[in-house]
Chain A
Amino acid sequence: TQLLEQSPQFLSIQEGENLTVYCNSSSVFSSLQWYRQEPGEGPVLLVTVVTGGEVKKLKRLTFQFGDARKDSSLHITAAQPGDTGLYLCAGAVRYGGATNKLIFGTGTLLAVQP
């Protein structure tokens, strides 16, 4: 069973601080996505990374895919209260043929205090 561990599990910070969330696995993923989920809603895609070593930036968010495609990180610069939510990484694993099974990480709950 593929397992995606995220750390930290919980993070409470002040507005303006920087933070990094990690997503680790012993499995190799063909691609990896990051989602954010707010209370009462489903997860919403932030980014997809597909190449080992790839770095993508989305405003104050920087995503990196590990060289071996087993891990990823999400760095937020100058966090704002609007960044509050549950951050989930999700790795695509070949299931058979051309099908990918999307496995979600354990999640990091971020609270940014004003």
Chain B
Amino acid sequence: DSGVTQTPKHLITATGQRVTLRCSPRSGDLSVYWYQQSLDQGLQFLIQYYNGEERAKGNILERFSAQQFPDLHSELNLSSLELGDSALYFCASRAGAADTGELFFGEGSRLTVL
């Protein structure tokens, strides 16, 4: 158990819909990272938050948005869903923003868009 909790574990929805994925980081970790993992693209970095503020952006689509709340949990919002958005979405946390410490991953949220 990494200490990072992601909900829901599985989600099936239709194209055009909107979903919210939730992440609770390890206790005390200020940094939250979101990654998308698909068979053809591998593990793609989406976005990072540190203590409520956006710190780094990766290959995140404009249809996607995220935020980190004062209690440090984070949400990833995916809208106008397309078939190609089907993937495993991982949240990971780390104690700081600038260190090279271990990234602790949750078990992921598997999104299927039909």
Contact = CB atoms under 8 A, between A and B. Distances in A.
Contact of B43 (A30, A43, A98, A100): A43
B100 A48 contact: yes
Interface in A29-63: 30-31, 33, 35, 40-45, 48, 50
Contacts of A40: 107
Given A44-B105, A104-B42, A107-B42, A99 B92 contact: no
A50 B99 CA distance: 11
A4 to B, nearest CB: 9
Interface string B28-50: 00000101000000111100101
Given A98-B97, A101-B48, A104-B42, A42 B102 contact: no
B102 A45 contact: yes
A18 B70 CA distance: 48
A100 B98 contact: yes
A30 B100 contact: yes
A45 B103 contact: yes
Contacts of A90: 103
A28 to B, nearest CB: 14
Contacts of B101: 48
B58 A105 contact: no
A106 interface: yes
B101 to A, nearest CB: 8
Contacts of B99: 100
Interface of A: 30-31, 33, 35, 40-45, 48, 50, 88, 90, 92, 95-107
Interface of B: 2, 4, 33, 35, 42-45, 48, 50, 55-56, 58, 90, 92, 97-103, 105-108
13 contacts: A41-B108, A42-B106, A43-B103, A45-B102, A97-B98, A100-B56, A100-B99, A100-B100, A101-B56, A102-B33, A103-B45, A103-B58, A104-B35
